[in-house]
């Protein structure tokens, strides 16, 4: 590192940076070029750039320069039964930056019954105070009614939120019925939102939990026993079905098992618009630890859906990530201390759920997918950054090294080797679920908003500099296909003569149940309406005789 000018004071020039001799790696190509940054934005890319004097220069020496990572799934400072997760926005975003992630997308979780807007404001306030890197927010829809509709509408139109999570688990709490899911999907599809689902069958889980406790299984192993992976796969299948019916793009958060990933990849092969998000934990470790004799260690792995006890799962998920069947990676970073986890020491259903992973995410994918030859460096950029930016409609501002993009960059050292341990990680949690793993690849320099935040192993972060990045609705990446299909999916009635034959006598009121008919008959009264002609020509009969089926 050297300063080109002699008189310049670093403070003044910190807004201007030249990265020299790096190999720029985007999701589509890699090339050698210098990058000039000013005011937090990439101003020039190319060889022999003409830059003002006195610019601080970073010699990349042929190392990879990649767009900063986007962790699309975090839970920093999440309230939980009177306490909060131990990593707040400051600690969490610091850990993110240390791992090469320059933007996080956190989940706003309103209490069922409370206002989404208030929760959103609360989260904004927390994050604006403390975040060290740019952030966006997902809002979780924890209950559904007309006033929520209005709030969702406002959030999309005015607050820069385009993604909403719904839950298929947590019975009697967050869980939505199929009908509600259908309505939410329809509603969001009309407004260009992304539906994220927590996919697990909550009803069966409730039954299984009761059964496990009754069998005397109260430890963390009960968590995974009561939430077997097929319940995840089932819910993913159902969510895809509903999304397909409503022609709505679907985003499955936390893909934890092979079977769930398979369902997503099968659906994509059939043409469904669905994105899968494996998390650091599912890509890096497995659920065998739930049987650890050390309660605190076992409990630290508790998250939902649980890690699969099948030890071949991480490898499999990395393969699907490499092939493009899974699209983005998050961390679902949600850390509780041992004493918080111990709320459930006598009952696994009470253990607060969440694992760490925001710091390890990029390194882990490099180690498990790129060094093993599954994935190339461009795909690495795609799954750690670009695809997330596309889905959230932040591209090309984020997720790409291009003129005009935000100056969130990482110089990636492919050779560094380090051992993950709770001793040295930036999270406050006592346990690290990746404890002891040796991982290759790490950020050498991290630049966030045009400023160096990690250099020579030292972090220089400032709380509160993180900006909220609004996400616009109708991201092309998800909605282009959906829009095209909408035009094809016009259903038409068959024009046919009125049936004027005899009609059997029938009674609708049988034992008080109005539709003994069994026919799910919606409200419509079966009384003959003699005024209504059953005959009407809809559409063009000449072309309307064929089967007008919805595209997949």
Q: Which is nearer to other proteins, 83 or 414 (CB)?
A: 83
Cα-Cα-Cα-Cα dihedral sign, residues 480, 482, 484, 487: negative
How crowded is residue 546: how many other Cβ atoms within 10 Å of its Cβ? Answer: 7
Q: Which is nearer to other proteins, 300 or 384 (CB)?
A: 300
Selected binder of other proteins within 125, 150, 521, 540 (CB under 8 A): 521
Residue 505 interacting with other proteins (CB under 8 A): yes
Q: Which is nearer to other proteins, 345 or 467 (CB)?
A: 345
Query: Which residues ranging from 194 to 233 are in contact with other proteins (CB under 8 A)?
Result: 201-210, 212-213, 215-219, 221-222, 225, 228, 230-231, 233
Residue 549 interacting with other proteins (CB under 8 A): yes
Query: Which residues ranging from 100 to 119 are in contact with other proteins (CB under 8 A)?
Result: 109, 111, 114
Cis? peptide before 274, omega within 30° of 0: no
Query: Which residues ranging from 246 to 285 are in contact with other proteins (CB under 8 A)?
Result: none
Residue 436 interacting with other proteins (CB under 8 A): yes
Give the distance from CA 106 to its chain's centroid: 9
Rounded to the nearest 10°, the torsion over CA 175, 176, 177, 181 is -150
Query: Which residues ranging from 319 to 348 are in contact with other proteins (CB under 8 A)?
Result: 334, 337-340, 342-343, 345, 347
Give the E-state strand segments of 128-244 in sequence order.
Answer: 134-140, 163-167, 194-198
Work out whether strand 83-84 and strand 163-167 pair parallel, antiparallel, or are unpaired: unpaired
Please state the closest distance from residue 531 (CB atom) to other proteins, in A.
11
Residue 308 interacting with other proteins (CB under 8 A): no
Q: Which is nearer to other proteins, 101 or 340 (CB)?
A: 340
Residue 485 interacting with other proteins (CB under 8 A): no
What Rg value do the Cα atoms of the chain yield, rounded? 26
Cβ atoms of 261 and 284 within 8 Å: the answer is: no
Burial of 99 (0-12, 13-18, 19+ CB in 10 A): buried
Q: Which is nearer to other proteins, 349 or 463 (CB)?
A: 349
Cβ atoms of 17 and 29 within 8 Å: the answer is: no
| Piece of 129-137, 274-282, 384-392, 490-498 that binds other proteins (CB under 8 A) | 490-498
Rounded to the nearest 10°, the torsion over CA 455, 41, 193, 130 is 50
Residue 286 interacting with other proteins (CB under 8 A): no
Residue 54 interacting with other proteins (CB under 8 A): no
Query: Which residues ranging from 76 to 105 are in contact with other proteins (CB under 8 A)?
Result: 78-83, 86-88, 91
Give the distance from CA 549 to its chain's centroid: 32
Q: Which is nearer to other proteins, 150 or 424 (CB)?
A: 424
Tokens matching residue 512: 């008080």
Selected binder of other proteins within 158, 508, 540, 551 (CB under 8 A): 508
Give the residue carrying structure tokens 């208030």.
Answer: 118
| Piece of 4-12, 173-181, 274-282, 366-374 that binds other proteins (CB under 8 A) | 173-181
Q: Which residues of 341-374 are buried (b: 16+ CB within 10 A; e: fewer)?
A: bbbbbeebeebbbbbbbbbbbbbbbbbbbbeeeb
Residue 465 interacting with other proteins (CB under 8 A): no
Residue 312 interacting with other proteins (CB under 8 A): no
Selected binder of other proteins within 27, 34, 151, 234 (CB under 8 A): 234
Cβ atoms of 355 and 298 within 8 Å: the answer is: no
Query: Which residues ranging from 369 to 428 are in contact with other proteins (CB under 8 A)?
Result: 421-423, 428
Q: Which is nearer to other proteins, 296 or 482 (CB)?
A: 296
Residue 172 interacting with other proteins (CB under 8 A): yes
Please state the closest distance from residue 552 (CB atom) to other proteins, in A.
9
Q: Which is nearer to other proteins, 336 or 412 (CB)?
A: 336
Residue 493 interacting with other proteins (CB under 8 A): yes
Q: Which is nearer to other proteins, 323 or 513 (CB)?
A: 513
Give CA–CA dist 210/217, Å, rounded. Answer: 10
Return the DSSP state at 330. Answer: B
Give CA–CA dist 458/300, Å, rounded. Answer: 28
């Amino acid at each position: 590192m050297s300063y080109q000018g002699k008189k310049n004071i670093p403070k003044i020039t910190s807004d201007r940076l030249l990265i020299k001799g790096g190999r720029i790696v985007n999701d589509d190509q890699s090339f050698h070029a210098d990058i000039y940054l000013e005011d937090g934005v990439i101003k020039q890319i190319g060889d022999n750039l003409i830059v003002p004097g006195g610019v601080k220069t970073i010699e990349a020496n042929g190392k990879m320069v990649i767009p900063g990572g986007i962790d699309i799934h975090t839970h920093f400072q999440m309230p939980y039964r009177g306490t909060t997760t131990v990593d707040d926005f400051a600690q969490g975003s610091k850990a993110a930056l240390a791992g090469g992630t320059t933007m996080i997308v956190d989940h706003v979780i309103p209490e069922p019954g409370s206002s989404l807007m208030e929760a959103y404001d609360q989260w904004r306030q927390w994050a604006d105070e403390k975040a060290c890197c740019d952030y966006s927010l997902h809002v979780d829809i924890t209950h559904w009614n007309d006033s929520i509709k209005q709030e969702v509408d406002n959030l999309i139109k005015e607050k820069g939120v385009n993604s909403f999570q719904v839950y298929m688990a947590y019975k009697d709490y967050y869980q939505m019925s199929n009908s509600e899911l259908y309505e939410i999907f329809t509603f969001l599809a009309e407004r260009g939102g992304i539906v994220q689902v927590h996919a697990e069958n909550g009803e069966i889980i409730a039954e299984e939990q009761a059964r496990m406790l009754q069998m005397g299984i109260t430890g963390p192993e009960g968590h995974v026993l009561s939430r077997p992976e097929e319940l995840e796969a089932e819910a993913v299948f159902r969510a895809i079905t509903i999304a397909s019916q409503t022609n709505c793009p679907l985003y499955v958060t936390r893909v934890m098992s092979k079977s769930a990933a398979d369902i997503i990849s099968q659906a994509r092969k059939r043409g469904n618009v669905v994105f899968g998000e494996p998390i650091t934990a599912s890509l890096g470790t497995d659920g065998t630890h739930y049987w650890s004799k050390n309660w605190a260690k076992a409990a630290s792995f508790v998250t939902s859906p649980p890690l699969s006890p099948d030890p071949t799962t991480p490898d499999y998920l990395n393969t699907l990530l490499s092939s493009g069947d899974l699209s983005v990676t998050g961390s679902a970073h949600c850390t509780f201390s041992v004493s918080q986890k111990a709320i459930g020491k006598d009952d696994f259903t009470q253990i607060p759920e969440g694992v760490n992973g925001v710091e390890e995410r990029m390194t882990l994918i490099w180690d498990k997918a790129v060094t093993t030859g599954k994935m190339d460096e461009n795909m690495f950029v795609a799954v750690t950054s670009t695809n997330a930016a596309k889905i959230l409609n932040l591209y090309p501002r984020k997720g790409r090294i291009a003129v005009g993009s935000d100056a969130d960059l990482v110089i990636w050292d492919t050779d560094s080797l380090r051992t993950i341990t709770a001793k040295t990680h930036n999270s406050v949690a006592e346990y690290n679920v990746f404890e002891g793993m040796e991982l290759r690849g790490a950020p050498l320099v991290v630049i966030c908003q045009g400023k160096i935040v990690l250099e020579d192993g030292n972090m220089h972060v400032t709380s509160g500099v993180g900006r909220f990045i609004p996400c616009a609705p109708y991201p092309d990446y998800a909605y282009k296909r959906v829009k095209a299909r909408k035009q094809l999916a016009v259903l038409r009635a068959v024009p046919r003569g009125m049936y004027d034959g005899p009609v059997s006598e029938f009674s609708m009121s049988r034992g008080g149940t109005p539709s003994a008919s069994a026919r799910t008959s919606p409200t419509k009264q079966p009384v003959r309406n003699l005024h209504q002609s059953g005959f009407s020509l809809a559409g063009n009969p000449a072309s309307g005789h064929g089967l007008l089926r919805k595209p997949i």
